[in-house]
Homo-oligomer: A and B are copies of this chain.
Amino acid sequence: MSGIKIVTIGGGSSYTPELVEGFIKRYDELPVRELWLVDVPAGEKKLQTVGALAKRMVEKAGVPIDIRLTLDRREALKAADFVTTQIRVGQLDARILDEKIPLKYGVIGQETNGPGGLFKGLRTIPVILEICRDMEELCPDAWLINFTNPAGMVTEAVLRYTNRRKVIGFCNVPIGMKMGVASILGVDQARVHITFAGLNHMVYGTDVYVDGENVTDQVIEKLCSEQSGITMQNILDLGWEKDFIKALGILPCPYHRYYYQTKTMLEHELEAAEKDGTRAEVVKKVEAELFKLYEDPELAIKPPQLEKRGGAYYSEAACNLIHSIYNDRRDIQPVNVRNNGAIASIPDDSAVEVNCVITKEGPIPLAVGDLPVAVRGLVQQIKSFERVAAEAAVKGDYHLALLAMTINPLVPSDGVAKQILDEMLEAHKDYLPQFAKVTT
């Protein structure tokens, strides 16, 4: 059958209209025949709303993409070419707990590389591994493109606990950094090239080029002298300590603030939680508003309000990734893949976020040698956290979960780790069947 079959698991997400828009825009080069939006019963209403909007969008655009809505994942996966995952096990309410419980103990929740991220991983990894098992059976040659956070930990788990090699973890942080740098320098994005290396939400821009010329020092200088501009909408632009950025000499990502400015970020989160609720609560409101818009039967385009959401450009960039694989475009994109020697101090078989050439055979990581000495420790610490957490998720092992929690750089002691862990295991127990033996 000609044309591409795409399956989006978590299709009821508020991001989906951007994905649909991306496929519409690229239709000539990337002929999507079917786009299956899959969700769980708890998300059915959203799925119907988003699905209806998607159908209106393709109709208005006049492209023959067949939008299919289903709760039957296995049915959808049959003979898929690309599977994207943007799931949220436990919905936004679970994320609220991921953020709130740690805050009670004076600890940042951080839903990706922090204590919250540990729990998001514990809930998500078993489901993703199940999807991998289904794919082995139903569409073994398809690519799995995962947007679900914690994307680094999830990619690590897939690489380590399944035989699937066609997996790519995807994140919009590097795209945001590139846009920020372009804007700081006042040049067009297309002229900017950044050497990205590190882990998901722990990625550095080690060199910045404009038209092939290395301008890293210039960018560092600019970063020091003004509000950085390189940030995500969901992380406060607190500004870096000028001399620290100069000392670092490379570009941190917005999430680095949690680690290099822990105290300030914590203070801010506590204040914000008091005032507006946690980030998840804010997102929940934004989402409710978005869905209200989506329900409008007159709406047949992606509403511009979607861009305010933290994940802006996520789906756009994901379309671009699929486009490059399908058409063997061989452009350079930073994604999460098996390291394979690209970063020296990370094991070959671990996931890293690194510039890759995107070919029809998949992403091939560019060798970056070693990271600067000063950042190797933090990167290794997050990698250790991800590996122990992934193992805990797969085995449902209480002690591994405690170990992951304690070695997380945001957690200030073994005692606090245990308190947070115990409360969160209890709070999330419906989504953590693998820990059932422990929590009862």
A314-340 contact mask (Cβ, 8 Å, vs B): 1 or 0: 000000000000001011100000011
* A368 x B384 contact (CB < 8 A): no
Contact pick for A341, options B368, B377, B398, CB 8 Å: B368
Q: How far is the CA of A207 from the CA of B361 in the complex (A)?
A: 11
Residue of B nearest to A106 (CB): B263
* B374 x A407 contact (CB < 8 A): yes
A17 CB-CB contact with B under 8 Å: no
* A382 x B374 contact (CB < 8 A): no
Binds B, one of A27-35, A227-235, A244-252: A244-252
Residues of B within 8 A of A368 (CB): 340-341
User: Smallest distance from the beta carbon of A352 to chain B beta carbons, Å?
Assistant: 10
* B374 x A388 contact (CB < 8 A): yes
A402 CB-CB contact with B under 8 Å: yes
List which A182-226 residues lie within 8 A (CB) of chain B.
193, 207, 209, 211-214
Contact pick for A361, options B209, B342, B373, CB 8 Å: B209
* A375 x B384 contact (CB < 8 A): yes
Q: How far is the CA of A374 from the CA of B383 in the complex (A)?
A: 9
* B357 x A412 contact (CB < 8 A): no
A282 CB-CB contact with B under 8 Å: no
Contact pick for A247, options B243, B387, B399, B413, CB 8 Å: B399
Residue of B nearest to A331 (CB): B330
Copies of this chain present in the complex amount to 4
Contact pick for A366, options B260, B367, B375, CB 8 Å: B367
User: Smallest distance from the beta carbon of A401 to chain B beta carbons, Å?
Assistant: 8
A171 CB-CB contact with B under 8 Å: no
Contact pick for A264, options B262, B384, B404, B415, CB 8 Å: B415
Residue of B nearest to A407 (CB): B374
A338-378 contact mask (Cβ, 8 Å, vs B): 1 or 0: 01111111001000000101011100111111100111111
User: Smallest distance from the beta carbon of A425 to chain B beta carbons, Å?
Assistant: 12
User: Smallest distance from the beta carbon of A263 to chain B beta carbons, Å?
Assistant: 4
User: Smallest distance from the beta carbon of A259 to chain B beta carbons, Å?
Assistant: 9
Q: How far is the CA of A360 from the CA of B366 in the complex (A)?
A: 15
* A415 x B212 contact (CB < 8 A): no
A261 CB-CB contact with B under 8 Å: yes
Residues of B within 8 A of A260 (CB): 406, 413-414
User: Smallest distance from the beta carbon of A167 to chain B beta carbons, Å?
Assistant: 16
Q: How far is the CA of A49 from the CA of B240 in the complex (A)?
A: 52
List which A286-330 residues lie within 8 A (CB) of chain B.
328, 330
Q: How far is the CA of A398 from the CA of B240 in the complex (A)?
A: 17
Residue of B nearest to A384 (CB): B377
A138 CB-CB contact with B under 8 Å: no
- Can you name 6 extra interface pairs (CB under 8 A) apart from A243-B399, A264-B413, A341-B367? A209-B361, A241-B415, A244-B402, A332-B357, A348-B369, A374-B384
A-B contact list, 30 entries, CB within 8 Å:
A207-B361, A209-B361, A211-B328, A212-B328, A212-B359, A212-B360, A214-B361, A244-B418, A247-B400, A260-B406, A260-B413, A261-B414, A261-B415, A330-B357, A332-B357, A332-B359, A340-B367, A341-B341, A341-B370, A342-B367, A345-B345, A357-B357, A365-B366, A374-B403, A375-B384, A376-B380, A376-B384, A377-B380, A377-B385, A377-B407
